[in-house]
Amino acid sequence: MPVESLFPRLEALLPKVQKPIQYVGGELNSTVKNWDETTVRWALMYPDAYEVGLPNQGVQILYEILNEMPETLAERTYAVWPDLEALMRSEGVPQFTVDAHRPVRAFDVFGLSFSTELGYTNMLTALDLAGIPLEAADRGDDDPIVLAGGHAAFNPEPIADFLDAAVLGDGEQVAIAITEVIREWKTEGSPGGRDELLMRLAESGGVYVPRFYDVDYHPDGRIRRVAPNRSGVPWRVHKHTVMDLDEWPYPKKPLVPLAETVHERFSVEIFRGCTRGCRFCQAGMITRPVRERSITTIGDMVEAGVKASGFNEVGLLSLSSADHSEIGDIATGLADRYEGTNTSLSLPSTRVDAFNIDLANEFSRNGRRSGLTFAPEGGSERMRKVINKMVTEEDLIRTVTTAYTQGWRQVKLYFMCGLPTEEDVDVLGIADLARKVIQAGRQATGSRDIRCTVSIGGFVPKPHTPFQWAAQAPHEVVDRRLKALKDALRGDKEYGRAIGLRYHDGKPSIVEGLLSRGDRRVGRVIRAVWEDGGRFDGWSEHFSYRRWVDAAAEAGLDVDWYTTREREENEVLPWDHLDAGLDREWLWQDWQDAVNDVEVEDCRWTPCYDCGVCPTMGTEIQIGPTGKKLLPLTVV
Amino acid sequence: MPVVQRLRVRYAKRGRLRFTSHRDISRAVERAVRRADVPVAFSAGFSPHPRISYVGAAAPTGVASEAEYLEIGVTRHCDPERLRAALDTSLPPGLDVVAVVEAAAGNLADRLECSVWELQLPEADHALAAVAVERFNAAERVEVERLTKKGLRRFDAREAVLNLEVVEVTETTAGQATSRPCVILRMVVRHATPAVRPDDVLTGLRLVAGFAPPVPPEVTRLAQGPLDVTTGEPADPFGPDRDITRGGGAEPAGEHVGCDL
């Protein structure tokens, strides 16, 4: 059946909205395929505004891989801003893809990538605008399979009622596998309808279908059991791990938008996974083990990506980029290759380490020398032991002193507030640390023209981490500690002016906490918030704490029970049937170690400490060095 | 590296790419220049920028154009036609490079004295449009208001309009297979301060005759250039550059050898 473009109808609305170009599509390297020549069609959504969603690596990778498959088509859709939403509702224009402006409901799969839980209400807007019933149970054979991925999908229970399926882990291979299952089912004439398709996906063991699991509760509200409600459905669903990143060198052709977006650069993931063992870090726990991309593949990807995009900045992504076994050679090789071309290189997520200053110097050779960023995360030595962020005060002072003496004028430090066992003194320790940083910098440079910016995020306990049992700090506590910190810095005549402080109030973290560790009962709250107008919860100008608290009260849910309550070891957690490979006993032991200030080393360089991932998942650490170097680019 | 040659580029923004803002275009051009390996010069200093300057007032977001202008400074001599083709290939379809000449003389901005605009007004009342145009042309002043960044401004929209006419009424919108009735207005407007834009003229038509199109107009800038007083239309702003190049005042042909563009 031909599917018509919605563009003529959308076009009439565009003169009336802000930044219309974001809805127009036509990005360089985007793909429009013939609908009728394909059998399996994916609509991929990053559930935030285009300017945030377009640069997302996960969506770009899947978009490219799926479109490379024969008879398969993938298009993208993003959250529309409220001005366009209102016009689409009044004019009856449904949720559309930006590639060929096809209606989302016409696709076989509506895949959403959730980096954060704060995109849940945007999913409901998109479903509703698309004309897809919000609740999975109300959908028919003509509706797409609504599928969630991304880090938040490691606990999809709060949105279980709205999802047909969820996948955990790396998407490259499982997206292809799902496509094949759907193709086979469609080729057979879609036997058994939607139910059979979901059953086939569930039976594979790699796709979680929430409706095939029942959740029982104790009278006190804790979960008693999560169990399959039909045979053939596995008790636990496993995450997916891509084992050779050199075989998956995506994105090859990065999307280049016309509209301005939050990251205007070509990004290459230099490795996946992290075993530093920071206990607050969900990404580090659920993406194990470390799998490096080789220096030569990285060099090839940068060369092809820059050529295909025209971007003048290259980002080397990972959870801790300086930890690549050949990062020094990568830095020098790329800086040499792009010498004199006004191409700048950036390395986000670096650790506090003097070696990283050398790297930063190398990276800024061809471009701007902006600020340097380090993340000690905890303000006191004790706090850093609790979270297993192994940085001493001495390390930090030595590192920033090196940075200041080598000409960097601005250092940014990231911390968290509301960590387990945290007391006021730990947060005030951030002020002491910042003062010492400035003091050391002034001494080393003899100049007063140096600055330090302290940036503080609220800690939210996340599933599949040692802190999954922890009590989240009430927002009043976080706000009080941050105010004390602010007062301490403001009252400091000697150093206060050289220290900037950035933070947010603690309320959004509570909502994030509710959505992160929530169970299926939280779905009612999400829906009520959305019906009350909740949109774009990741944006402070749209977020309303009151709306969430009221909706929870209305639904009879105690937000504190979900957030500030510490869990017992044997409590069934909503995500226990979803397997990130981490051994539950190891996680519990690591939680106990945290409380006792016991640190754990990185298993890349020390013996295995049995977190459980490699044996459970059949994976292994993949690191260099390869011993290879990047050769100069040949000039044609 | 120093600028050895300046190239003047006329480009168009067409179709759905009319929704690009000026900032969107400038990013797209910078990237296209890199992809096309144009040897663009960079400014010196802490934060080097490519030597690309935009000439004249950009057509507003949502307005299409056949005649926007920019200048590129390059560090090696380039053949204008090859640069045109390379840049056009590297820009997304809808941002199209129409013509490139080597800057030979004078200041291009000074030559952009007036613009020709075409407004397609689907579903508009033709008879009323004709009356409104007649009254507008007959008026000495037509005061309109527009919300600018500096607040509500009131100014005359009549004097800058050198010519305004209803060119035709079609059952099909040009280039599109739609069958809705459409009024097309064409106007020549002198560039002035404050700028009188097509929507200001539309506001004027509403004020003089209550003419208000039911749907937003599709506006296209057809041309820009120095006002030719004999025709009342803009002439080709590249004329002086072309004259000098043809007259033998340009670089010897040998200079172009060895350049990849």
Contacts of B56 (CB under 8 A, 6+ apart): B68, B69, B108, B109, B112, B191, B224
- Are A310 and B34 an interchain contact pair (Cβ–Cβ within 8 Å)? yes
Instruction: Give CA–CA dist A625/B233, Å, rounded.
Output: 69
Residues A449 and A562 in one domain: yes
Residues B194 and B245 in one domain: no
HSE-CB of A402 using CA atoms within 13 angstroms: 16
Query: In this structure, what CATH number is given to the domain that contains residue A277?
Result: 3.30.750.210
Identity at A527, one-letter amino acid code? R
Q: How many CB pairs under 8 A join A and B?
A: 65
CA distance B216 to chain A (A): 7
Q: Is B26 on the interface with A (CB under 8 A)?
A: no
Q: Is B32 on the interface with A (CB under 8 A)?
A: yes
Residues A516 and A574 in one domain: yes
Residues A558 and A429 in one domain: yes
Range of the domain at B83: 5-110+237-252
Whether residue B258 is contained in a domain is answered as: no
Residues A136 and A149 in one domain: yes
Residues B138 and B29 in one domain: no
Residues B33 and B51 in one domain: yes
Residue B245: is its pLDDT beyond 70?
Answer: no
Confidence at B252, pLDDT banded by 50, 70, 90: very low
Residue identified by tokens 């499982």 is A174
Contact B116, B124 (CB under 8 A): no
User: A interface mutation test: which of B11, B16, B179 has the most A CBs within 10 A?
Assistant: B16
- Are A310 and B23 an interchain contact pair (Cβ–Cβ within 8 Å)? no
Residue identified by tokens 């059953």 is A199
Residues B66 and B84 in one domain: yes
ipTM confidence: 0.88
Residues B135 and B225 in one domain: yes
Contacts of A220 (CB under 8 A, 6+ apart): none
Would the CA dihedral through B114, B116, B122, B128 be positive or negative? Answer: positive
Torsion of CA B169, B171, B173, B179, to 10 degrees: 160
Residues A58 and A186 in one domain: yes
Identity at A636, one-letter amino acid code? V
Residues A185 and A293 in one domain: no
Which pLDDT belongs to residue B243?
80
Task: Report the DSSP pairing between strands A271-272 and B143-148.
Answer: unpaired
Residues B59 and B70 in one domain: yes
Instruction: Give CA–CA dist A227/B188, Å, rounded.
Output: 74
Nearest to A258 among B20, B30, B216 (CB): B20
Residues A560 and A481 in one domain: yes
Q: For residue range A298-329, what is the model confidence (pLDDT) as tens digits?
A: 999 999 999 999 999 999 999 998 899 999 99
Residues A329 and A380 in one domain: no
Confidence at A86, pLDDT banded by 50, 70, 90: very high
Task: Sort out which chain B residues have CB atoms less than 8 A from A310's CB and list them.
Answer: 30-35, 90
Whether residue B123 is contained in a domain is answered as: yes
Which pLDDT belongs to residue A354?
66
Residue of B nearest to A365 (CA): B46
Which pLDDT belongs to residue A123?
98
Whether residue B261 is contained in a domain is answered as: no
Whether residue A608 is contained in a domain is answered as: yes
CA angle B56, B57, B60 (to 5 degrees): 150
- Are B27 and A260 an interchain contact pair (Cβ–Cβ within 8 Å)? yes
Confidence at A348, pLDDT banded by 50, 70, 90: confident
Cis (ω within 30 of 0) for the bond into A574?
A: no
Residues B129 and B226 in one domain: yes
Distance of CA A142 to the CA centre of its chain: 31
Whether residue A240 is contained in a domain is answered as: no
Instruction: Give CA–CA dist A293/A328, Å, rounded.
Output: 14
Residue B25: is its pLDDT beyond 60?
Answer: yes
Residues B154 and B209 in one domain: yes
Instruction: Give CA–CA dist A58/B212, Å, rounded.
Output: 47
- Structurally, chain A folds into a number of domains equal to 3
CA-wise closest residue to A25 among A82, A81, A75: A75
Cis (ω within 30 of 0) for the bond into A289?
A: yes
Count other C-beta atoms under 10 Å from residue B43's C-beta: 10
Whether residue B41 is contained in a domain is answered as: yes
Instruction: Give CA–CA dist A418/A297, Å, rounded.
Output: 40
CA angle A113, A545, A510 (to 5 degrees): 65
Task: Sort out which chain A residues have CB atoms less than 8 A from B35's CB and list them.
Answer: 307-310
Whether residue A152 is contained in a domain is answered as: yes
Q: For residue range A413-464, what is the model confidence (pLDDT) as tens digits?
A: 999 999 999 999 999 999 999 999 999 999 999 989 899 999 999 999 999 9
Q: For residue range A134-172, what is the model confidence (pLDDT) as tens digits?
A: 999 999 999 999 999 999 999 999 999 999 999 999 999
Query: In this structure, what CATH number is given to the domain that contains residue A197?
Result: 3.40.50.280
Residues B25 and B72 in one domain: yes
Instruction: Give CA–CA dist A576/B19, Å, rounded.
Output: 48
Residues A379 and A363 in one domain: no
Instruction: Give CA–CA dist A247/B205, Å, rounded.
Output: 63
Which pLDDT belongs to residue A369?
61
Residue B173: is its pLDDT beyond 50?
Answer: no
Write down the mean pLDDT value for chain B. 89
Q: Is B203 on the interface with A (CB under 8 A)?
A: no
Residue of A nearest to B217 (CA): A15
Residues A380 and A314 in one domain: no
Contact A48, A18 (CB under 8 A): no
Beta bridge partners of A292: A271
Which pLDDT belongs to residue A372?
84
CA distance B46 to chain A (A): 7
Q: For residue range B53-99, what is the model confidence (pLDDT) as tens digits?
A: 999 999 999 999 999 999 999 999 999 999 999 999 999 999 999 99
Tokens linked to A438: 């400035």
- Are B30 and A14 an interchain contact pair (Cβ–Cβ within 8 Å)? no
Give first-to-last CA distance, chain A, whole Å. 48
- Structurally, chain B folds into a number of domains equal to 2
Residue B180: is its pLDDT beyond 90?
Answer: no
Residues B248 and B184 in one domain: no
Residues A189 and A69 in one domain: yes
Residue B213: is its pLDDT beyond 60?
Answer: yes
Write down the mean pLDDT value for chain A. 95
Contact A198, A549 (CB under 8 A): no
Residues B242 and B208 in one domain: no
Which pLDDT belongs to residue A342?
82
Instruction: Give CA–CA dist A335/A362, Å, rounded.
Output: 6
Torsion of CA B259, A341, A28, A316, to 10 degrees: 150
Whether residue A594 is contained in a domain is answered as: no
Question: Rounded to whole angstroms, what are the CA distances from A391 to A397, A415, A502, A590, A619?
Answer: 10, 12, 22, 18, 29
Contact B213, B142 (CB under 8 A): no
Identity at A13, one-letter amino acid code? L
Q: Is B92 on the interface with A (CB under 8 A)?
A: yes
Q: Is B42 on the interface with A (CB under 8 A)?
A: yes
Instruction: Give CA–CA dist B27/A58, Å, rounded.
Output: 24
| Percent above pLDDT 70 for chain A | 98
- DSSP H or E run through A289: none
Contacts of A361 (CB under 8 A, 6+ apart): A406
- Write phi, then psi, for B215 (nearest 5 degrees): -125, 160
Contact A156, A208 (CB under 8 A): yes
Query: In this structure, what CATH number is given to the domain that contains residue B225?
Result: 3.30.70
Tokens linked to A523: 């779905």
DSSP state of A240: B
Whether residue A259 is contained in a domain is answered as: no
Would the CA dihedral through A397, A399, A402, A407 be positive or negative? Answer: negative
Residues B119 and B212 in one domain: yes
Whether residue B257 is contained in a domain is answered as: no
- DSSP H or E run through A506: none
Whether residue A27 is contained in a domain is answered as: yes
Phi-psi region of A593 (alpha: psi -120 to 50; beta: other; left: phi over 0): alpha
Confidence at A406, pLDDT banded by 50, 70, 90: confident
Range of the domain at A223: 7-234
Q: For residue range A336-346, what is the model confidence (pLDDT) as tens digits?
A: 999 888 888 88
Contact A146, A153 (CB under 8 A): no
Query: In this structure, what CATH number is given to the domain that contains residue A389?
Result: 3.30.750.200
Query: In this structure, what CATH number is given to the domain that contains residue B20?
Result: 3.30.70.580
Contacts of B92 (CB under 8 A, 6+ apart): A26, A27, A28, A258, B17, B28
Task: Sort out which chain B residues have CB atoms less than 8 A from A370's CB and list them.
Answer: none
Q: Is B3 on the interface with A (CB under 8 A)?
A: no
Whether residue A624 is contained in a domain is answered as: yes
pTM: 0.93
Tokens linked to A253: 């052709």
Whether residue A630 is contained in a domain is answered as: yes
Residues A204 and A285 in one domain: no
Instruction: Give CA–CA dist B36/A358, Å, rounded.
Output: 33
Tell me the longest C-alpha to C-alpha distance in chain B.
Answer: 62
- DSSP H or E run through B5: strand B5-13
Q: For residue range A102-111, what is the model confidence (pLDDT) as tens digits?
A: 999 999 999 9
Burial of B221 (0-12, 13-18, 19+ CB in 10 A): buried
Confidence at A347, pLDDT banded by 50, 70, 90: confident
Residue A81: is its pLDDT beyond 60?
Answer: yes
Instruction: Give CA–CA dist A466/B57, Å, rounded.
Output: 59
User: A interface mutation test: which of B30, B31, B52 has the most A CBs within 10 A?
Assistant: B31
Q: For residue range A593-634, what is the model confidence (pLDDT) as tens digits?
A: 999 999 999 999 999 999 999 999 999 999 999 999 998 886
